A = this chain, B = another copy of it.
């Protein structure tokens, strides 16, 4: 699927609250769909705690391996928000108050309201540029191929709008889903394997549903590829084969 050299990306989720189980991350899925719409292949995601060595290690591994890294979490005003310092350490640059970020925050908070904690949110690694935050003003930042965003989902989503124009896009991956109801994966495994082998440029996935519950059971077959006509043809062929076997399907 990478014949057209689609850009690649990784996500780095930063926050003890995800690893402790207190908070269920929703940002990864939002970013995954955002990147998919731009034709960028999300290759990997990591979740680390609020520990500088861990953030630095993960960030340096990911930014060298992929075209882009998008991070979430740890850029607020409190002592446990260490992402800016960790990113600075990863790049080997100092972290300092960014004049434009200071101006944005000064505008937001009245005189006397702009305390030390809030000033902290203007600290950006040297060489970084700001990512606008239309939700609550305090900006994220980009340095090199790394995009540093807030962890609060509504704010993170708002920041993505200023990230999008900075990314090189690829051909979008088209997907067709064949919904097979009443039989499990095993019943269609051989047909699916043969179909996948016949079209090595496409990806064929099989995702069972309903198992382990009392509800309807079945399997979603997902065909993905960057050539829409090929995906459509593959869906047509596989649907015919399944119908020929007497299996009930619905295509979406």
Is there contact, CB below 8 Å, between A193 and B36? Answer: no
A18 CB-CB contact with B under 8 Å? yes
Interface size class of A (residues with CB under 8 A): 35 or more
Asked whether, in the complex, the Cβ of A205 is within 8 Å of the Cβ of B18, the reply is: no
- CB distance A47 to B45 under 8 Å? yes
Say whether chain A's binding surface is mostly helix, strand, loop, or mixed: mixed
In the assembled complex, A152 has its CB within 8 A of some CB on chain B: yes
A55 to B158, CA, bound (A): 32
Interface of chain A residues 44 through 66 with chain B (CB within 8 A) = 44-50, 54, 58
A217: shortest Cβ distance to chain B, in Å? 10
The stretch of A20-28, A84-92, A161-169, A230-238 that contacts the partner chain: A20-28
Interface mask (A172-199 → B, CB under 8 Å = 1, otherwise 0): 0101000000001111111011001100
Chain A residues close to B by CB (< 8 Å): 16-26, 28-29, 32-36, 42-50, 54, 58, 76-81, 115-118, 120, 135-136, 152-155, 157-158, 173, 175, 184-190, 192-193, 196-197, 203-209, 211-213, 222, 224
